[in-house]
Amino acid sequence: MKEKNPRKGHSDYSDELKARLPHFGGAPLEKVKEYLLNSGFENIQILDLKEVRDAQKEKMPLGERIVRSYQYYLICGRK
C-alpha cells in the first residue's frame, strides 16, 4: 500500500473524484450560510479568523504565501 504524504492534502485525488465532490477545496462562506439557513438555523454569526490565516502564512515559504489564498472563518447559529 502506498503511504500517503499528509503535506500533499488532497492533491493526489483524481480529477474524476474532484468533480464529484460538491465543494472540493472548501465551501464558499455564502454557501455554508445558505446551508445553515435551509437547515433551520437562525441568528447566524460569522467571525473572520484573519489572525489564524496570518499566523499560518508567517510560517510558510514565500512561494506558498503568494499562491495560497485561504479564508478562515467561524460560523455559528441557533436552532
Structural domain harbouring 60: 27-78
Tens digit of pLDDT for each residue in 29-71? 999 999 999 999 999 999 999 888 888 888 888 887 777 777 7
Number of independent structural domains in the chain: 1
Strands (E), the chain: 42-48, 73-78
Q: Flag whether 17 is in a domain.
A: no
Q: What are phi and psi of 16, to 5 degrees?
A: -65, -45
> Is 15 among the domain residues?
no
pTM over 0.75: no
Q: Residue 5 falls within a domain, yes or no?
A: no
